[in-house]
Amino acid sequence: MVSRVSSVTPEEAAPGAARPALTRERIVRAAVELIERDGADALSMRGVAAELGVAVMSLYNHVPNKAALFEGVAEHVVAGIDLADDPDEPFTERARALVRAFRKVAHDYPRSMTVVFTHKIDTPVGLRPAERALALASAAGFDGETSVRIMRALMAYALGAQMREIGQAKALDYQPAVAESLARLDPDEFPHVIAFAPDLARHDPETDFEFGLDMLIHALDALHKGLMERTELMERTD
């Protein structure tokens, strides 16, 4: 896992050094550090103040409440998504790169990523991934309605895959808790679960993610080829 942001505390500061000015950015970074270390449930205004070595009330000059702090964390994580794009690359590869960028930031901030799933970002930062997805779909020739659906499909897979991987969607995990549970299953009702039990017990997040991404990209490729064929046919008949 890559190194994440850190905040300067009085203990870490050089003797006699002036304390950095308290800003919203420093507060959010400290919140991210706290969440990555202790989990989202541990986040509090008091805890962040302790991280920064400041009085709790001083935070309220920059962040009005805990809800706003969570929103700041979500914004920070989304802002870390690498949205670099090569317009010379095929449409499908640009889409693949965008989804992979989501996975990378989820690995960079595994605990803070859970905040993204549960908190709305009311700033332009939250729209940047959507803008990238809409731009690449539009550039590929899709109309507005289809571009929006493509964007939603890409975002759904990017976020859904991470929800499952970090354990937020327990209902999607069909692995039996214990081997004995298989013996109690009705073979007439669950013949395939029993037959594929060894495969269900194996879990490779990277392989699973890439397999699902390949399926999505292949579907997009087929959709794009169909668009090109229809466009070519219309041009011939004009």
Q: Which strand (E) or helix (H) includes residue 19?
A: none
> Looking at the predicted structure, is the pLDDT value of residue 13 above 60?
no
User: Among residues 12, 52, 57, 18, which one has the least CA distance to residue 32?
Assistant: 52
Domains and CATH numbers, the chain: 1-64 (1.10.10.60), 83-170+181-223 (1.10.357.10)
Q: Is 51 exposed, middle or buried (0-12, 13-18, 19+ CB in 10 A)?
A: buried
Alpha carbon 133 to its chain centroid, in Å, reads: 14
Mean model confidence pLDDT for the chain: 87
What is the band of 164 on the pLDDT scale with cuts at 50, 70, 90? Answer: confident
C-alpha distance across the termini of the chain, in Å = 56
